[in-house]
Amino acid sequence: MKKFVLTSIALFVGVIGFAAMPAIDPALRAEMGERGDDEKIKIVVLMNEQSDATALSREANFFANKQERRAFVVETLKRQAETSQAELLGLLGEMKQHDMVADIQSLWLVNAISCQATKTAINSLEQKRGIKTIAYREETQWIADGEVEPAVKNGDRDIAEFLYQIDVPPVWDLGYTGQGVLVAIIDTGVRLDHEDLAGRFWDGGSEYPNHGYDFYYNDNDPGDVYGHGTEVAGIVCGTGAGGTKIGVAPDATIMVLKAFRDDGVGEETPWVAAMQFAIEHGADVLNMSLGRPKPEPAQKLMMRQACDNTLAAGVVAAACAGNVGSAQFMIPVPQNIYTPGDCPPPHLHPDQMVNAGGTSCVVCVGSVLSDNGFNEISSIGPSQWTDVAEYNDYPYTAGSTTEIGLIRPDICAPGNELTTLDHGNNSGYTLFSGTSAASPCVAGTIALMLSKNPNLTPAQIDEILENTALKLTEHKSNNFGSGVVDALAAIEAVQPYDGLAENDVKAAIYPNPSADVFTIRCEGMRHVEVYSVDGKLVKSQSTTGPQCQISGLDSGVYVVKVMADSGTVTKRMMKL
């Protein structure tokens, strides 16, 4: 038991090996030199205490299902942020009263605080313990020129051509259309009244009446002014109500998470806020058709930490590779892939094992033409992570057979003039190009896979996608990844979900995780036993009521055995 307790303590404290570095990032230091004393600068404060996503995943594996796993990870990360940020948030609150700080926001997917602060406030923060780095929230264009095509195109056939290219219609014939799957569109918003998306939006209740949230402007209006997010959403689940079927998964549900300015400009903080919202509110898949070219190490660190913890929560993301493959003179390999597309996949391909490293939630998607030829704008791998000391994996040396970097992309999809929704009216279509168009082809395919088996893990999803792709090269390559996504082959490789519960006895434990007392809801309950993960009985009680006292137990994961009139069932629970 002692060994397990030490593991749990390490998890809560965070054990990523941070290298020493100045608290103020060089890019922020340069920006401060350009600003007046009273100007507020957008910053993000990364706390020194970060979760070890590998340990977090290992702990989460004890839980019986995806919902319990996700709840455990979310609660663990929230608690870490709450305890480690408390003192700093208090200080920032005092500074706000003196007009030194504004727009304070706590993040938990990455243990960080964003705000706007004067130079005096920033210099004061640098002296505080517990801070890893203070970075500049530099805004840049996250959408490549040429992706948003203004010309309206009315459909000239019932089903868009690119859906045949990736073998989607036969999947619909098998009965898999994305039903029951929630896809979070993290983008520029979505046109909410387009007829091709009617009935496809997440119900956010009275708190989120417009099916999501705008994290850039911090309001309840995630409508799309720019057009990019609407075009992405159409490829995921456009129903064809306007005349052309364009959605890979027409019965999937979408959550609209606007994370960028109305012109496609943005930075990492709203993106991370959108990711953590999606995880907390039950999204099964994230589509991230945006990215930053050539980020600073602090920006890469923030995005990879977010993607690592998303994987720990059991959520997969499709992310575009980027559209700068033909701009090697400006953005050469190994910086050519956008972040977070340069983060590692959930499953490491055999060709990667000569230079293996960590994993994350990201399935990186490149673009091909209509004949499956290489789309020259599609960004080219590999990426590398030796410039981020906290990871220092996937080294790349040109010409080396061992230091091959991280092969990117993982897979490709059509990305040249795809028919999709026009955000300028509520019934028309337009053309959409780039890896931003390819990514939702893969997100939609993942939704099809999850409609057949909702219990697939991100690693299983990625492995199936890569193993069943149409091979264009002998090995996984830095142009095509493992090949072009094949929706039918992927579905055929998915083992169906049998729908069987682990036991006919129905029992629920809440809150889970719990600090002192948990409550069991189970009809006919007679006896409860609590076991440590090494099998030791640590609590036994005949039930006269639904509550079980656990305040005397060590922090960690436990197995709760509930005995009822109709049988016995076991559940996992977390003691905080």
Which CATH number belongs to the domain containing residue 567 in this structure?
Answer: 2.60.40.3080
Question: 425 with 465, same domain?
Answer: yes
Quick check: 377 pLDDT over 60?
yes
For the stretch 177-211, pLDDT in tens is 999 999 999 999 999 999 999 999 999 999 999 99
The residue among 576, 61, 16, 25 whose CA lies nearest residue 296 is: 25
What percent of the chain stands above pLDDT 90? 75
Quick check: 346 pLDDT over 80?
yes
Average pLDDT score over residue span 285-309? 95
Q: Is 148 part of any domain?
A: yes
Burial of residue 399 (number of CB atoms within 10 Å: 0-12, 13-18, 19+):
exposed
Determine the pLDDT at residue 498: 67
Quick check: 4 pLDDT over 80?
no
Domain with 70 in it:
2-137
**517 three-state secondary structure:** strand
Q: Is 537 part of any domain?
A: yes
Question: 447 with 546, same domain?
Answer: no
Question: 133 with 181, same domain?
Answer: no
**89 three-state secondary structure:** helix
Determine the pLDDT at residue 531: 84
Question: 545 with 396, same domain?
Answer: no
Determine the pLDDT at residue 156: 53
For every residue of 123-165, DSSP letters joined together read: HHHTTSTTEEEEEE---EE-S-TTSEEEEE---SSSB-HHHHH
Q: Which pLDDT band holds residue 6 (cuts at 50, 70, 90)?
A: very low
Determine the pLDDT at residue 152: 45
For the stretch 127-178, pLDDT in tens is 998 999 999 999 987 765 555 554 444 445 689 999 999 999 999 999 999 9
Which has more pLDDT, 7 or 354?
A: 354
> Alpha carbon 569 to chain centroid distance?
32
* pTM for this model (two decimals): 0.86
Q: Residue 543 contacts by C-beta under 8 Å, 6 or more apart in sequence?
A: 520, 525, 526, 527, 528
Determine the pLDDT at residue 147: 55
Q: Hey, what's the torsion of the CAs at 86, 277, 496, 349, to 10 degrees? A: -70
C-alpha to C-alpha distances, 189 to 27, 91, 145, 152, 220, nearest whole angstrom: 29, 34, 18, 19, 11
Which has more pLDDT, 160 or 564?
A: 160
Residue 182: in which H helix or E strand, if any? strand 182-187
Average pLDDT score over residue span 402-410? 98
Burial of residue 535 (number of CB atoms within 10 Å: 0-12, 13-18, 19+):
exposed
Determine the pLDDT at residue 264: 87
Q: Is 278 part of any domain?
A: yes
Question: 338 with 390, same domain?
Answer: yes
Determine the pLDDT at residue 157: 61
Q: Is 499 part of any domain?
A: no
Q: Which residue has the tokens 């395919």?
A: 445
Determine the pLDDT at residue 8: 34
Q: Is 498 part of any domain?
A: no
Average pLDDT score over residue span 558-571? 83
Quick check: 426 pLDDT over 70?
yes
CATH of residue 43: 3.30.70.80
**C-alpha–C-alpha distance, residues 252 and 443, integer Å:** 10
Beta partners for 509?
520
Question: 533 with 473, same domain?
Answer: no
Q: Which pLDDT band holds residue 238 (cuts at 50, 70, 90)?
A: very high
What percent of the chain stands above pLDDT 70? 91
Q: Is 265 part of any domain?
A: yes
> Alpha carbon 9 to chain centroid distance?
26
Average pLDDT score over residue span 440-458? 97
The residue among 385, 392, 293 whose CA lies nearest residue 336 is: 293
Average pLDDT score over residue span 338-352? 97
Q: Is 502 part of any domain?
A: no
C-alpha to C-alpha distances, 506 to 30, 321, 566, nearest whole angstrom: 59, 44, 9
417 C-beta neighbours (distance < 10 Å), count: 18
Quick check: 233 pLDDT over 60?
yes
**C-alpha–C-alpha distance, residues 493 and 489, integer Å:** 6
Beta partners for 286?
184, 317
**Which alpha helices (H) appear in 472-517, and where do they start and end?**
487-493
Question: 97 with 218, same domain?
Answer: no
**C-alpha–C-alpha distance, residues 62 and 104, integer Å:** 35
Copy the structure tokens of residue 99: 């007009």
Beta partners for 288?
319
**Which alpha helices (H) appear in 287-392, and where do they start and end?**
297-312
Beta partners for 562?
528, 569
**C-alpha–C-alpha distance, residues 499 and 229, integer Å:** 34
Quick check: 376 pLDDT over 70?
yes
Q: Is 149 part of any domain?
A: yes
For the stretch 454-484, pLDDT in tens is 999 999 999 999 999 999 999 999 999 999 9
Question: 408 with 516, same domain?
Answer: no
> Are the C-beta atoms of 231 and 247 separated by less than 8 Å?
no
For the stretch 44-62, pLDDT in tens is 999 999 999 998 998 888 7
Copy the structure tokens of residue 573: 């629970």
The residue among 249, 236, 109, 247 whose CA lies nearest residue 184 is: 236
**C-alpha–C-alpha distance, residues 244 and 232, integer Å:** 15
Determine the pLDDT at residue 270: 97
C-alpha to C-alpha distances, 295 to 20, 28, 135, nearest whole angstrom: 20, 13, 12
Q: Which pLDDT band holds residue 573 (cuts at 50, 70, 90)?
A: confident
Q: Residue 10 contacts by C-beta under 8 Å, 6 or more apart in sequence?
A: 52, 55
Q: Which pLDDT band holds residue 562 (cuts at 50, 70, 90)?
A: confident
Query: Mean of the per-residue pLDDT values for the chain?
Result: 90
Question: 450 with 354, same domain?
Answer: yes
Backbone angles phi, psi at 454, to 5 degrees: -70, -10
Quick check: 499 pLDDT over 80?
no
> Are the C-beta atoms of 117 and 9 separated by less than 8 Å?
no
Question: 314 with 355, same domain?
Answer: yes
Copy the structure tokens of residue 526: 């007679």
For the stretch 8-43, pLDDT in tens is 323 333 444 444 445 999 999 999 999 999 999 999
For the stretch 517-546, pLDDT in tens is 888 888 888 888 888 866 678 888 887 678
**93 three-state secondary structure:** helix
Residue finishing a domain among 105, 137, 169: 137
C-alpha to C-alpha distances, 508 to 99, 266, 540, 562, nearest whole angstrom: 48, 42, 18, 10
**C-alpha–C-alpha distance, residues 507 and 568, integer Å:** 10
For the stretch 208-227, pLDDT in tens is 999 999 999 999 999 999 99
Question: 154 with 59, same domain?
Answer: no
Average pLDDT score over residue span 394-398? 98
Side chain identity, residue 405: G
**25 three-state secondary structure:** coil
CATH of residue 451: 3.40.50.200
Question: 554 with 411, same domain?
Answer: no
Determine the pLDDT at residue 502: 44
Number of domains the chain is built from: 3
Residue finishing a domain among 122, 137, 152: 137
Beta partners for 431?
419
Quick check: 257 pLDDT over 50?
yes
Residue finishing a domain among 493, 516, 537: 493
